[in-house]
Structure 1
């Protein structure tokens, strides 16, 4: 379990936002619950699991009672819990729409794991459900809350690298278990692009503040490999951003663990290696002043994410990574799959401006 960062003591519970965690898998057990213990503005008030026994086991381990445990069938009973103001949906992608709708109908704000859904159409339904219910919706793009990623963004957008020309990002890992839900199209909606490649895509948009204008892609689904009967093994995509900026994205479930982001400008470059794990991020910036590796205060990525959404709920502000950004990423990923299928360039709707789908910037550690 991750070490607890040396952070100030959380606020009194009465001043924090209570969350129900929906889905008790590895991410919840190993990252989310420990992270909430370092959160300043959030706490876990309830757990929702497919198995009541599993939920009660989690409750005993994390200082909750059996009365704080709900199943998918009793989920609506959370409507009576005034101390549960928000839910965090941590379920397979295809289940997001159902549970976001159910949460929104109870008047609960929603933090939803990425990708927001399985395609742009269902993602739009998620946004509509929350808008109609008058609740906030945030897509859990944790990398947009780290100081390393913000330093990379500032290096790009300040002009320190000169005019940006090229971006390159690889996010790959080996998925060994043929029965993993991520390899089931009905649950995941696709392969590595929706799961890990989305970090490359979303971070390139984040550091530039812009959206791609076209995509051209290819994918590979090896014959005879039981893991890839339903989803692709690898995807490679070229994306064209405004001003002639070209980006390359590569993602795979069959290649050695790699998580990098490189940005190359006329006067400098930056490298994040690794760029996307839960901790230990690396950042090296080279510009006309030389090469440096910035240092940052200790933090927990998920705590920053919890805190931002809790603050948005308390202050009535739009989250930095709202549901609309999740929809836009699905629009781009749908286009990548279409290009891979047809072998043609797919053009996207023209976008004008920067950070078009983002809300209120988050507070940042050390500032």
Structure 2
């Protein structure tokens, strides 16, 4: 059987139009060469899906030499297992230097990531970062008691700072870090990755759109079972406390940023098994309640002696939203409960978490390029530390502790592209 031929003209197409459809190189408005002339290196495609479908998004990446260079300070688990791998997914940031007290380990990691041996520093030579031009910022992933010193030294070396949470071991250290970066005119960001994570961002949007109604209550736990009693997290001088500043801070920070309110009083309780060798210096568990100006309350718990459990639920007058697990690096699950057609309905919303570390690294890089305050600046870390100190005070004294409002804004502009 011979099929009839259809010419381009018969189909209503000119030869030029036919070639534009069949030859990608001539589809000028939608290929890199043509689009780049008007928008740098951005590449876009025309929509092909119906309006009922999820919009397609083409990610845009800075050229490698245009990305903000980070030195990773401290090569423990979070740096090696999370931060460094995240650079492969970054659009605006790259790893250019390492700082470690273990040179053999640092050189092995440098070879894995193509970092020059000359860009591997130790803590004594840390200040030489001032002369390392590829390094524009540092990611501080050290034990908590070292955050303040290495933030101040980085600022004095002219580098921007992205520091792990908790920001420091005391309110005084937090203020020292903020002042040093302000004096050096360097940006300071605290690594609250949940505030850049898409599921958490979705809940924030629900709250602002009043989809949950009036907020009533927040309930959350962050629990893990620590093993080795000699690890630094169980040493008060290094960690500043036990589960509260390490994992309880996630609950505390989530209550604040999801609700958009600041607490006015706290009640705290700490408990420790005196026969457990892990808890000779720090508490085993902390429970706390935060009360906010609107009447909204947050009830939270954190522990170092229970099986891994991470969840949060934000309850409003019209609906609730929960993450279970919450706070994890991957696998977050968002559910929303509300009344639908007279029936209680629970909907699970599938949102890809992506790489949370890449999102916060890229946000910091964008802020440095735009000379813009990060969404989670030092003031955000300071506010959490003020509340943590009040929780410990309440636990010691067995009473409610009042909180003064922050002296100014604690967050910068919203993150772009969800991160």
**Which of residues 300, 306, 309 is equivalent to 2:355?**
300
Q: Distance in 1 between matches of 2:177 and 2:130?
A: 19
> Residue 298 of structure 1: CA displacement?
5.7
Aligned-partner Cα distance in 2 for 1:351–1:74: 37
Q: 1:214 aligns to what? A: 265
Aligned equivalents of 1:298, 1:329: Cα separation in 2: 24
**One of 286, 293, 315 as aligned partner of 2:337:** 286
* Equivalent residue, structure 1, for 2:211: 160
Report which of the two structures shows the higher radius of gyration computed on alpha carbons.
Answer: 2
2:282 pairs with 1:231: yes
Give aligned pairs, total.
359
**8 A Cα contact 1:273 1:281, kept in partner:** yes
Corresponding residue SS for 2:417: coil
Whether contact under 8 Å (1:170, 1:260) holds in the other structure is yes
Q: Does 1:193 align with 2:244?
A: yes
Q: Deviations over 1:117-157 (max 9, x none)?
A: 00111111111111111100000000000110011112223
User: Which structure 1 segments of 5+ residues have no match?
Assistant: 1-5
TM-score of the aligned structures, taking structure 2 as reference length: 0.83
Q: Matches of residues 226-265 of structure 1 in structure 2 within 5 Å?
A: 226-265=277-316
Find out whether 1:342 has 2:397 as its counterpart. Answer: yes
Alpha-carbon distance change, 277 to 298 in structure 1, aligned in 2, over 3 angstroms: closer
Residue of 65, 72, 76 corresponding to 1:21: 72
In terms of mean alpha carbon deviation, does 282-291 or 80-89 score higher? 282-291
Partner of 2:413: 360
**Contact 2:74 2:140 (C-alpha < 8 Å) held by counterparts:** yes
Residue correspondence of structure 1 range 324-343 to structure 2 within 5 A: 324-343=379-398
Please, which of 166, 172, 179 is the counterpart of residue 223 of structure 2? 172
* Larger RCO, structures 1/2 (Cα 8 Å, 6+ apart): 1
Is 1:309 aligned to 2:360, yes or no?
no
Equivalent residue runs for 1:83-162 within 5 Å = 83-162=134-213
Which 4+ residue blocks in structure 1 deviate beyond 6 angstroms? Answer: none
Is the partner of 1:243 in helix, strand or coil?
coil
Partner deviation per Cα, 1:246-297 (whole Å, 9 max, x = no partner): 1101000011111111111111111110110001111101234443222234
Consecutive unaligned residues of structure 2, counting only runs of 5 or more, are: 1-56
| Secondary structure in structure 2 of the residue aligned to 1:166 | strand
Checking the alignment, whether the CA contact within 8 Å between 1:160 and 1:287 is kept in structure 2 is no
| CA root-mean-square deviation | 1.7
CA deviation after TM superposition for structure 1 residue 7, in Å: 8.2
Equivalent-residue separation in structure 2 for 1:298 and 1:223 (angstroms):
40
SS in 1 for 2:89: coil
Secondary structure of the 2:376 match is coil
